[in-house]
Structure 1
C-alpha cells in the first residue's frame, strides 16, 4: 500500500475575474473549489491511475470535511487525524496573471501530532509512505524526522518531497525517491546551476548523501532520473500548458505508483513524466486517459 502524508492541506479556491479592479466590486467569471496539498494531489493521481492508496494528515472543521468527501468520492481511502481548528483555504485569483493568498492552517496539538505518528505503526515492509510539503510551525522542524523514524522502524520505504533542512535531514535515512526541480536543487546546495552537467553532478551528490533515486524536473526540458547505475533523460510531450499546480506531485504519483506495481524504474520515469505533463495540460489534476494518451510521446534515453 502507498500512503501519502499532507500535514497542512487546504481547499484551493480558484477564482477567475475578467478585469480585476482594486477598491471596487468585482464579479467572478468562474470559480472552482478543489482539495489541495501536495500529498493529497499524489493520492488523487494514484487513484486515477487505479493504484490503491491511503491519504493521511490533519484535517478540521467544515473545510476538512469537504476534503474528505471529495477524496472519498474519488475512491481515495482517508485516515486523517481530526484537529480542533479549521483546515485552511488558499485563494488562487486568476486575472490574466495569478495571485495567491494562502491560509495559515490550524494549530496542531501534541496529542494530535502523536496520533498521526501512531497511525504509521501499522506499516509493513510492503508499504511506501510519501511525505510531501512543508511542516506547519506548530509541529516543529523535526516532525518529519519523527515520522521517518517510525517508518524505518516498521521496515517500510519512504519518499520525501520537500526542500531545505527537512530534505537534508531525511537523506541519511535512504529515501526511495527525492524530486527537486532545477531551482530547488540550486537552492539546496547554494550554487548556480548551468546546464544538464551541473544537474547530474548535484543529483549524484544527493545519492551520495543517501537518496536511492533522484528525479529532477526541468520544466520544458523534461526530467532526469539519477540512479546509482545510470542517468536517464525523459522528454516532455507536446501540449498547451494551462496549469502549474500539482504537476510535480503528479510526476511523483506516476513514478512511485508505477515503480511500486512494476518494479521498472524506466517505465516509472515515462509514466511520471506523462502524469506531470498531463496535469500541466489540464485545468485540474490529470485524468487517466490524458496520461495514457501522452505516454507514447515520452522517450527515455541514457545520458
Structure 2
C-alpha cells in the first residue's frame, strides 16, 4: 500500500482576472476550488494511474471537510486526523494576464495528541509499503519532523519518498530514502552553488546519493529531468510540447508518475518516462492531470541512458 502524508493541506482558491489593482475593488472572471497540498497531489495522480493509496495528514474545520470530501468523491481513500480547533488553510492564487500572485494561509496548530495519532497510523504500515513525505512542515511542528518519522519506521522495510526543500531534505538522507525529488534550483540552493551545466547537476546528484539517498530524481523545468539510480544508471527524459498553465503540482505529479511506473514495471527508465509525462500533463492543465492526458503525452517522452 502507498501512503501519502500532507501535514498542512489546503484549499487552493484559484481566480482569474484582467488585472489586480491594490486599494480598490477587483472583480474576478473565473474561480475554482481545489484540494491542495503536495502529498494530496501525489494521491490524486496515483489515483489517475489506478494505484491504490491512502492520504494521511491533518485537517480541521469546514475547510478540512471540503478537502476530505473532494478526495473521497474522486475515490481516493483518506484517513485524515481531524484537529479540534482551527481551520485547514486556504491558499489564494490570483492570475492576471501578466502575473500570478499567491496568498497562502498559515493553517491550524497541530497538537501533541494529533501527532500521537499519526504515529499510531504509522504503526500499521507493513513491509513493502511506500510512504510519501511531501511539502513543508507547519510551524506548530518541529523542523525535524520528517527525520523523526523516518527514524520511527527505520526498522521496517518501507520505501520512503521525500519531496521537500533544503535542510528538510538534506537532514533525512542519513535514513536512506528510496527516492528524493529536488529540482535544479533547489540543488543549487542546498549546496550554495551555481549550476551551469548538466555535468554540474549530475555531480551534486551523486553527492546526494553519497549522503544516503538511493535514487535521485531531478526535475529541470523545460530541460526535462534526470534520474540517478541506486544501481548506478543515469537516465534523462525530454519535455513534450505544450503550454504551461499550472506549475503548482507538476513536481508532485512527477513523483506520483514515477511511483506508478516503477510499481507497474519495476524499471527505472519506465518510471522516469511515466513520471515525466505525469508532471508535464499537470503543468499543461488547470488542475492535476487526467489519465487520458498523461497517456497522450507518454508517447512524446524519450528516455536516454547517459
> Which TM class, normalised by the smaller chain length?
over 0.9
Secondary structure of the 1:14 match is: strand
Asked if the contact 2:254/2:276 (under 8 Å) is kept, the reply is: yes
Moved over 4 A (4+): none
Q: Which residue in the other structure is 2:244 paired with?
A: 241
* TM-score, length-scaled by structure 1: 0.98
CA shift digits 1:11-68 (9 cap, x unpaired): 0001111232322222210100000100000000000111100000000000000000
Where structure 2 has 5 or more consecutive residues not aligned to the other structure, the ranges are none
CA shift digits 1:238-263 (9 cap, x unpaired): 11111111000000000012212321
Q: Which residue in the other structure is 2:184 paired with?
A: 182
Asked if the contact 2:136/2:164 (under 8 Å) is kept, the reply is: yes
Q: Which residue in the other structure is 2:223 paired with?
A: 221
Q: Which residue in the other structure is 2:270 paired with?
A: 267
CA distance in 1, matches of 2:250, 2:127: 29
Asked if the contact 2:17/2:27 (under 8 Å) is kept, the reply is: yes
Q: Which residue in the other structure is 1:277 paired with?
A: 280
Asked if the contact 2:2/2:130 (under 8 Å) is kept, the reply is: yes
Q: Which residue in the other structure is 1:78 paired with?
A: 78
Q: Which residue in the other structure is 2:170 paired with?
A: 168
CA distance in 2, matches of 1:22, 1:156: 50
Secondary structure of the 2:154 match is: helix
2:145 is equivalent to residue 140 of structure 1: no
Q: Mean alpha-carbon deviation: is it higher for 182-191 or for 136-145?
A: 136-145
Q: Which residue in the other structure is 1:202 paired with?
A: 204
Asked if the contact 2:181/2:216 (under 8 Å) is kept, the reply is: yes
CA distance in 2, matches of 1:118, 1:16: 42
Asked if the contact 2:5/2:134 (under 8 Å) is kept, the reply is: yes
* TM-score, length-scaled by structure 2: 0.97
Q: Which residue in the other structure is 1:108 paired with?
A: 110
Q: Which residue in the other structure is 2:49 paired with?
A: 49
Asked if the contact 2:260/2:274 (under 8 Å) is kept, the reply is: no
CA distance in 1, matches of 2:21, 2:191: 42
CA distance in 2, matches of 1:37, 1:186: 24
CA distance in 1, matches of 2:153, 2:12: 29
Q: Which residue in the other structure is 1:32 paired with?
A: 32
Cα RMSD between the aligned structures?
Answer: 1.0
CA shift digits 1:267-301 (9 cap, x unpaired): 10000000000011111110000000000111111
Q: Mean alpha-carbon deviation: is it higher for 151-160 or for 212-221?
A: 151-160
Asked if the contact 1:224/1:232 (under 8 Å) is kept, the reply is: yes
Q: How many residues align?
A: 303
CA distance in 1, matches of 2:21, 2:167: 40
CA distance in 2, matches of 1:94, 1:240: 16
Q: Mean alpha-carbon deviation: is it higher for 52-61 or for 150-159?
A: 150-159
Q: Which residue in the other structure is 1:153 paired with?
A: 155
Structure with greater proportional helix content: 1
CA distance in 2, matches of 1:153, 1:114: 19
Asked if the contact 1:222/1:234 (under 8 Å) is kept, the reply is: yes
CA distance in 2, matches of 1:266, 1:2: 21
Secondary structure of the 1:51 match is: coil
2:94 is equivalent to residue 98 of structure 1: no
